[in-house]
C-alpha cells in the first residue's frame, strides 16, 4: 500500500524492530492493513501475544512471528473451506441451472 493512497487513519502499521518513538510511524517500509482486514485475524494476534492492543505499539519477537505465520496459514485454509461449503450449499439449494 502506498501511503498516498490512504483514506483516513484506520490502518494498522507493521514495522520491523522495536518501536522507539512516535516519529517512527507511517514509514514507507512498513506494511499496513485496514481495520476491516485486521478483524479477520485479530483473535490470532491476541492468542500469540497477550499484550496485543490495536491502539498501542506491540512488539512481536521472532518466535511469535513464526507462530503468526503458521496460524494465518491455518486461518486461510479454514476460510477457504468455509467459502467452499457455503458456495456448494448455495448452488445446491438456491441456484437452479
Instruction: Give 61-89 pLDDT, tens digit per residue.
Output: 999 999 999 999 999 999 999 999 999 99
Residue whose C-alpha cell reads 498516498 in the numeric block: 4
Q: Give the least confident one: 27-31, 49-53, 62-66.
A: 27-31
- List, in sequence order, every residue forming a beta bridge with 33; answer none if it has no partner: 12
Q: Does residue 72 or residue 25 have the better pLDDT?
A: 72
Q: Which of 29, 26, 30 is nearest to 9 (CA)?
A: 26
Task: Specify the pTM.
Answer: 0.74
Helices (H), 1-97: 35-48, 62-93
Residue whose C-alpha cell reads 490495536 in the numeric block: 54
- Per-residue cell: 5: 493512497
Amino acid at each position: 500500500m502506498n501511503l498516498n493512497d490512504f483514506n483516513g487513519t484506520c490502518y494498522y502499521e507493521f514495522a520491523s524492530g522495536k518501536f522507539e518513538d512516535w516519529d517512527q510511524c507511517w514509514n514507507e517500509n512498513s506494511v499496513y492493513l485496514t481495520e476491516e482486514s485486521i478483524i479477520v485475524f485479530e483473535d490470532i494476534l491476541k492468542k500469540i501475544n497477550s499484550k496485543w492492543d490495536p491502539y498501542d505499539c506491540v512488539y512481536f519477537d521472532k518466535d511469535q512471528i513464526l507462530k503468526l505465520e503458521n496460524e494465518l496459514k491455518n486461518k486461510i485454509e479454514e476460510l477457504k473451506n468455509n467459502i467452499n461449503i457455503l458456495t456448494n450449499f448455495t448452488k445446491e439449494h438456491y441456484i437452479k441451472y
